[in-house]
Structure formats: C-alpha cells, structure tokens
Amino acid sequence: MNILVEELPESLEVDGKSYRINSDFRACLMIIMAFEDNELTMQEKQYILLNNLFAKEMPSNLEGAIQAALQFLNGNSENSEERSSPRLYSFSHDANFIFAAFRQTHGIDLQTDNLHWWKFLALFMDLGSETTFCSLISLRKRIKTGKATKEEKAAAREMGEMFIVPELDTRTLEEKELERKFLESIGSAA
C-alpha cells in the first residue's frame, strides 16, 4: 500500500467479505489506549477493538476480524515494533504533548480535523524535533539506553510523573490472579 498513490482503506476483508470500518484516528486511539490499560482483561480489550473499528457489521469470524484489525492498526506494516525496545511514549499519558506537537508541526487541530488513521500515523512519525513531545521522547530514550548525561538524568528526575511512561502489564489473567491471592495472603498474615 502506497499512501501517495492509493486510496486509504475504509473497509477490511475477513473471509473474503468486505466490512466497513471506522478509520478515524480517534476510534483507533481509543483501541490503543484500551490496550494500554492494565485494568482491562484481554477479552475486554478485544471487545473494544471490534466495537470501535467495525462500523456497521461485525464479522462472524472474530479471530479473523481481530487479525485484520491489528494489521490495519499497524498501518498494514509487516514489521511490528520490537518487544525488547524500551517504551518511549503512551497515547494516553502523553496526549497533551501529542496534541500540541500536531498543532505545532502540521498545523492540525486534532479536536476538529477528521483524519484517517494511516494519515495520522504518517504525520505522527514526522512530528518536529523542536516539539516538547519529541524532546521528551529523545530524553526518555537516552535515559533508558544509558546514554544520558548527569544533567539529563537530573532533568528527568525533576519532571517526575511527566517523564515516566507507564509500562504495559503483559501478564496473563492467571498470573494477575495468583499475584492478587499472594498479596491477600500476606495481608491476612500480618
């Protein structure tokens, strides 16, 4: 898919049938923020994905729909981000900075402008280095890779919560339940 010469998709194919989707960046960000939410179960996240993306009709093959949706959310890219790379931003935690960076770099008001998800992704990847958001990501990367100076480390400490990107909880539901039971047993033993 070439964004320069081809129309952006407004539907996804599941089992040979085309299903209309909500391609607006807001719907896609709601999905991503749900996947960032450690309080939601995987089933709840998948429900949010399906209900936010499929506009009119839900495919009967939910697994196929989820796979097609994830590929769409990934910009139809085959290579996804390395799991071992440090997490440098969060759409929910850094929302204000991202909003301001779009306005500063591209002159786009994300509150009023409609934008296809893939256009959003392309513009997101080209946010100006002079924005607070990009400066923050750069600092986070230097800190997490151990390349930060003493001054940068001190600046990061002064930023407090603004600097910290919440980590994603990738544990299974069973692992979370075991931890909950363990913590309860410690609490009752004290």
Which of 70-79, 105-114, 179-188 holds the top average pLDDT? Answer: 105-114
Query: What is the reported pLDDT for 2?
Result: 87
Q: Say yes or no: 61 and 92 in one domain.
A: no
The mean pLDDT of 125-133, rounded to a whole number, is: 95
| 1 within domain boundaries | no
The mean pLDDT of 123-137, rounded to a whole number, is: 95
| 6 within domain boundaries | no
| 178 within domain boundaries | yes
Q: Say yes or no: 25 and 93 in one domain.
A: no
Query: What is the reported pLDDT for 174?
Result: 74
What pTM value is reported for the model? 0.82
| 92 within domain boundaries | yes
| 168 within domain boundaries | yes
Pick from 135, 134, 110, 111: nearest CA to 120: 110
Residues 6 or more apart in contact with residue 65 via CB below 8 angstroms:
12, 14, 19, 50, 54, 58, 59
Answer yes or no: are the C-beta atoms of 167 and 109 closer than 8 Å.
no
Query: What is the reported pLDDT for 190?
Result: 56
Q: How far apart are CA 47 and CA 61, in angstroms?
A: 13
| 158 within domain boundaries | yes
The domain in which residue 131 lies consists of: 87-113+122-190
The neighbouring-strand residues paired with 136 are none
Q: Say yes or no: 187 and 129 in one domain.
A: yes
Asked if the model's pLDDT at residue 73 lies above 80, the reply is: yes
| 109 within domain boundaries | yes
Q: Say yes or no: 92 and 69 in one domain.
A: no
Q: How far apart are CA 45 and CA 9, in angstroms?
A: 23
| 5 within domain boundaries | no
Number of folded domains in the chain? 2
The mean pLDDT of 121-150, rounded to a whole number, is: 95
Q: Say yes or no: 146 and 100 in one domain.
A: yes
Q: Say yes or no: 69 and 154 in one domain.
A: no
Q: Say yes or no: 16 and 45 in one domain.
A: yes
Q: How far apart are CA 28 and CA 118, in angstroms?
A: 10
Q: Say yes or no: 26 and 63 in one domain.
A: yes
Q: Say yes or no: 100 and 189 in one domain.
A: yes
Asked if the model's pLDDT at residue 86 lies above 60, the reply is: yes
Q: How far apart are CA 182 and CA 156, in angstroms?
A: 34
More confident residue, 27 or 185: 27
Query: What is the reported pLDDT for 82?
Result: 47
Q: Say yes or no: 128 and 184 in one domain.
A: yes
Residue 105's φ and ψ, nearest 5 degrees, are -80, -45
Residues 6 or more apart in contact with residue 116 via CB below 8 angstroms:
8, 23, 24, 25
Q: Say yes or no: 53 and 130 in one domain.
A: no
The mean pLDDT of 150-163, rounded to a whole number, is: 90
Q: Say yes or no: 97 and 65 in one domain.
A: no
